[in-house]
Chains A and B, each alone.
Chain A
């Protein structure tokens, strides 16, 4: 009996994760893009856009691993940005 209850709980939990994942999908996408923009601004001088004084970037770098990771991912998926958007909005 306890086993069945636990399985049921587990199923509900997974459904919960899926639902919550689904409704925050767009916000998460936006957040990722913002972080991408943030790190891109700091690294602007490398890509030719005006950038803040170099020392701001130098002071912040140690804490930006996560953002650098996102930047790298975005760069890899750069030629496929449309399909990611299509996926996000359930367009077939």
Chain B
């Protein structure tokens, strides 16, 4: 299974191009799933169908899906609050349990929900040959893609402290041993300690996701337009991706016409001066989308399918 991420500034044509790619891949006989992560979904509009949070068959070998982030964050919070409430149930008489609801508004939960959704798709939908992701605009995409690295760094630190705690507990247990009741109640073994177990579990999940995102099975496509705003933002995006160790392999210069061809060339030169990415130009108005027809002149699927 391979994944393709379409990234770039808002309005450059990520959704259209990702839809076109998914369509062309399906036409070639590849089993394809197109997923939209952009909160302002228009994957459904492009294909003229109504989509939801679960995948829907559009035609043979082409499935579509729009991730409902709000619903997913709520579900995540609900699951975890449920667990918290059952453990701290003695707080019920004081109505303290409702304070856990505050967690719903803590920052980062939405990014986490996106990442979890992404991870789940990559883990579960292996029967597809391609998963094409349409991402939200630059800033959010970088934050979501950076989350595994940031999380792994934190977990590493927390694990180190936890290990030290467990070592000390073990020492105390060894000396006090059966002479003390309190010392034996606390877990001192890494395998018995629930906190350590949970940390390792989260670490494992994120490590797998990070290695997948950095692997050759994942292609990141940067879409841009021949204008300077788009150039600057793409440069920032490319810088961010390089820092994360997820170099982009394909650049698409979208909306080119005779009038802006010269500018397009100079922008492409500046953007791709020190990268080995493949460049593809897509002409203005080359895609035509309606309920019945879906045409795009340029061959996008060649970039991904061998």
Contacts and interface: CB of A to CB of B under 8 A. Distances in A.
B195 A17 contact: no
Given A27-B172, A52-B151, A34 B202 contact: no
Contact of B161 (A17, A37, A54, A58): A37
Interface stretch (A3-11, A62-70, A72-80, A84-92): A62-70
Contacts of B150: 53
Task: Determine which residue in A37, A61, A64, A66 has the highest number of CB atoms from chain B within 10 A of its CB, and name it.
Answer: A61
A20 B84 contact: no
A23 B175 contact: yes
Interface in B78-121: 80, 83-84, 87, 103, 106-109, 112
A55 B108 contact: yes
Nearest to B113: A55
A38 B199 CA distance: 13
Chain A interface size band reads 20 to 34
B165 A62 contact: no
A81 interface: no
B55 to A, nearest CB: 25
A47 interface: no
Contacts of A17: 176, 179-180
Contacts of A60: 195, 198-199
A41 B199 CA distance: 14
A34 B164 contact: yes
B54 interface: no
Contacts of A61: 84
B179 A30 contact: no
A53 B147 contact: yes
Interface residues of B, number: 37
B179 A56 contact: no
A54 B103 contact: yes
B154 A24 contact: no
Contact of A55 (B87, B112, B175): B112
B169 interface: yes
Nearest to B112: A55
Contacts of B57: none
B176 A21 contact: yes
A43 to B, nearest CB: 12
B168 A27 contact: yes
Contacts of B295: none
A55 B109 contact: yes
Contact of A28 (B84, B112, B172): B172
Contacts of A65: 87
B171 interface: yes
Given A23-B175, A24-B175, A38-B165, A54 B108 contact: yes
A13 B175 contact: no
13 contacts: A20-B180, A24-B171, A27-B171, A45-B106, A52-B158, A53-B108, A53-B150, A56-B151, A56-B199, A56-B202, A58-B80, A59-B80, A62-B84
Question: 5 smallest A-B Cβ distances: which pairs?
Answer: A31-B168, A52-B154, A63-B194, A54-B106, A55-B112
